[in-house]
Amino acid sequence: MLAVDQTQFNSENNRKEDALVIKSLGHPIRLKILTMLDRQKCNVKNIWECLGMEQSVVSQHLAVLRHRGIIHGRRDGVETIYTIVNPLAQKIIDAVTQK
């Protein structure tokens, strides 16, 4: 049998954070948003127009993703441009989109 490096399992805080990221990605709308952001930086209007959803619905999902540190919004004049900043979320999106 192979020896297991216990240090990778003992980092409880990292596992909790990873679980929160994975849980946040567990909604189809959030996955769609992240798939869009994986292809290009977008503002809220681009996202809700492409998804055919109301602005308020998209904004609520963006808030969850921002709160979890999955995306970051950068102000550009009157717009906020969103990008994926969480490495785990990026890996998951890459796997889902089979990059």
The CATH number that applies at residue 43 is 1.10.10.10
Evaluate whether residue 54 is within a structural domain.
yes
Q: pLDDT (tens digit, 9 = 90+) per residue, 11-66?
A: 666 788 899 999 999 999 999 999 999 999 999 999 999 999 999 999 999 999 99
User: What pTM does this model have?
Assistant: 0.82
* Domain annotation covers residue 7: no
5 lies in some domain? no
Position 58 in a domain = yes
Domain span holding position 62? 12-96
Task: Answer whether 20's CB lies under 8 Å from 89's CB.
Answer: no
Q: Give me the residues paired with residue 81 across strands.
A: 74
| Number of neighbours of residue 3 by Cβ within 10 angstroms | 5
Question: Tokens 């996955």 identify what position?
Answer: 31
- Write out pLDDT tens, residues 69-80: 999 999 989 999
> What tokens were used for 13?
């805080």
Buried b (16+ CB within 10 A) or exposed e, 72-87: ebeeeeeeebbebebe
Domain count across the chain: 1
CB atoms within 10 A of CB 61: 22
